[in-house]
Amino acid sequence: MKNFLEEVNARIGGVALQNCYHCMKCSSGCPMAEVMEYQSNEIIRMVQLGEREKLLNSSAIWLCVSCETCVTRCPNAVDIPRMIDVLRQMSLEAGIKPAEPEVVAFHRAFLDTVKLGGRVNEPLMMVSYKARTGTWFKDLVMGLKMLLKGKLSLVSPRTRNRTVIHRIFKRTSKL
Amino acid sequence: MEYSYYPGCSLHSTGKEYGLSVEVVSRALGLKLHELFDWSCCGATSAHSTSFDLSVALPARNLIFAEKRGLDVMIPCAACYNRFKMAQHHLANAPGLRGKVSETLGYEYRGTAVIRSPIDIFHQDVGLETLEEKVRKRLAGLKPVSYYGCLWLRPAEICDFENPENPVKLDEIMTSLGAESRKWAFKTDCCGGSLTISKTGQVEKMVGRLMRMAVEAGANCVVTACPLCLANLDMRAPAENRLPVFYFTELMALALGLEGPEKWFKLHGTDPRPLLRSLDLL
Ligand code: SF4
Ligand code: SF4
């Protein structure tokens, strides 16, 4: 059986995490470093040490904004955002309750509307997000303003071939 | 010059004025855009965070329509551009992925589509000289900082856009419109857009810092080329440092003397009209 490091490396399918020499260039430029409980190079070390539970239950994996700054600056081309995506997916597959429930609720709401119409309908997505998180009043005024200005509309054109969209989701997404 | 055109979901809703201005400016510069046949969402951050295969299959469907058409495909949204480029990269490199995706989609993916940013198209294909000749109203007094954000640029080898630490094409476009583009060190710093709904407090801090730096750089507005960046900067900035934020194509339309800018400016969270009137540009 593969150990945690081998499993993560295999799913990244690129530069192996062992190439990191902990220069911390990634963590120094990370815009979310101040709120992530583990810094990006620490996460790499933890994967090597087999800290599966800690990582899959962490906030850090959900707080990364996927800005791709770290991988762009890494002297060894270690793909940290891809590693974090892998950890997110492992966490979801293991049925772990995410440490940042709002972030995952947003992804679910977003993908639900895509599954339904092939394209995002923002008002629909916001209603679905709010129902999932119970945050009915946050950003409400902003949303209403946008509706009134005619920026958002309740019905928007959808993709015609929704059969293929459904097939894509069925085969690739377990969310 | 003809292109396929992928508006993406944002350009039909929160980024409406971006879509409209891209179309109007393209027409005025003699570019013909053909909206991609029956396009669907690129999946954005929500797809790549939750399923690798989904994050490739969603853009791939659109890429297939683009290859069939055979024209370069213009993608104005930085997030869509990034997801298309990433999918193309993985489809070219990950063993077995191409066959699997083609099978799911029911069409053969070949990998021949050319993905282009409107920044690059206006800068390269139209060219700054032509642009300058077409300017009817120079944007004198307008001092924008150019904000590129993340997704046009990174990862650099995949995005194949510009120097990821110091891109200049937007600045150069602004200069050819007669605006005084301000230098600043934050043009590629992240604004936190992907977490703006779910982690608003943190994102407000990030936007606050960008706005403070823009003001410090002597700017009177911010110009961007991403609907997520614009919505975020336009809505989440703190009251004490709130500059108008424009799509670069809105300013192009204004300088080229085209119909539309007044209407689009009404859609912004921070009304840019007082600034433009004070400079005699409206
Ligand atoms: S920049 Fe690269 S090598 Fe340096 S610590 Fe980060 S991942 Fe490791
Ligand atoms: S991609 Fe994630 S880990 Fe890397 S710099 Fe951005 S926020 Fe930090």
> Ligand 2 mean position to A40 CA, how many Å?
7
Residues A69 and A47 in one domain: yes
Q: Can you read off the two tokens belonging to residue A140?
A: 């409400």
Residues A11 and A78 in one domain: yes
Pocket test for ligand 1, best of A40, A45, A68 (most atoms within 8 A of CB): A40
Of A32, A120, A139, the CB nearest to B41: A120
Q: Centre a 10 Å sphere on the Cβ of residue A160 and count the other Cβ atoms it contains.
A: 12
Which residues, numbered 54 to 73 in chain A, qualify as contacts with chain B under a Cβ-Cβ cut-off of 8 Å? 63, 65-69, 71-72
What pLDDT band is residue A174 in, cutting at 50, 70 and 90?
Answer: confident
Closest by CA to B60, choosing from A171, A102, A31, A79, is A171
pLDDT, mean of residues B159-163: 94
Q: Max Cα separation, chain A?
A: 57
Q: Say yes or no: CB of residue A72 within 6 Å of ligand 1.
A: no
- The yes or no reply on domain B2-116 and CATH 3.80.30.20 is no
Residues A158 and A140 in one domain: yes
ipTM score of the complex?
0.94
Residues A126 and A63 in one domain: no
Q: pTM to 2 decimals?
A: 0.96
Query: DSSP letters along A5-48, please?
Result: HHHHHHHH-SS-GGG-----HHHHT-TTTTT-SS-HHHHHHHHH
Residues A68 and A113 in one domain: no
Q: Say yes or no: CB of residue A74 within 6 Å of ligand 1.
A: yes
Residues A119 and A153 in one domain: yes
Q: How far apart are the first and last CA of chain B?
A: 31
Query: DSSP letters along A39-101, please?
Result: -HHHHHHHHHTT-HHHHHT-SHHHH-----HHHHH-TT---HHHHHHHHHHHHHHTTPPPSSH
Indicate the pairing of strand B32-35 with strand B2-5. Answer: parallel
Residues A83 and A146 in one domain: no
Considering A65, A93, A121, which residue would you say is the last residue of a domain?
A93
Considering A61, A93, A125, which residue would you say is the last residue of a domain?
A93
Residues A21 and A61 in one domain: yes
- CA A110 to chain B, closest CA, distance in angstroms equals 7
Q: Does residue A99 have a pLDDT over 90?
A: yes
Please give the tally of structural domains in chain A: 2
> Ligand 2 mean position to A61 CA, how many Å?
10
Residues A161 and A121 in one domain: yes
The answer to whether B101 and B57 are in contact (CB under 8 A) is yes
Closest by CA to B33, choosing from B59, B7, B65, B63, is B7
> Ligand 2 mean position to A151 CA, how many Å?
31
Say which amino acid occupies B188. Answer: T
> In this predicted structure, what is the pLDDT of residue A146?
73
Q: Does residue B173 have a pLDDT over 80?
A: yes
What pLDDT band is residue B277 in, cutting at 50, 70 and 90?
Answer: very high
Domain that residue A139 falls in: 101-172
Q: Say yes or no: CB of residue A26 within 6 Å of ligand 1.
A: yes
Distance CA B253, CA B137 (A): 10
> In this predicted structure, what is the pLDDT of residue A156?
78
The answer to whether B48 and B55 are in contact (CB under 8 A) is yes
Residues A14 and A51 in one domain: yes
- B266 and chain A: CB distance < 8 Å anywhere? yes
- The yes or no reply on domain B135-278 and CATH 3.40.50.11810 is yes
Residues A57 and A112 in one domain: no
Query: How is residue B102 annotated by DSSP?
Result: H
Considering A93, A126, A160, which residue would you say is the last residue of a domain?
A93
Residues A83 and A107 in one domain: no
Kindly list the residues from chain A whose CB atom is less than 8 angstroms away from the CB atom of residue B193: 65
Q: Can you read off the two tokens belonging to residue B212?
A: 């403070």
pLDDT, mean of residues A146-156: 72
> In this predicted structure, what is the pLDDT of residue A133?
85
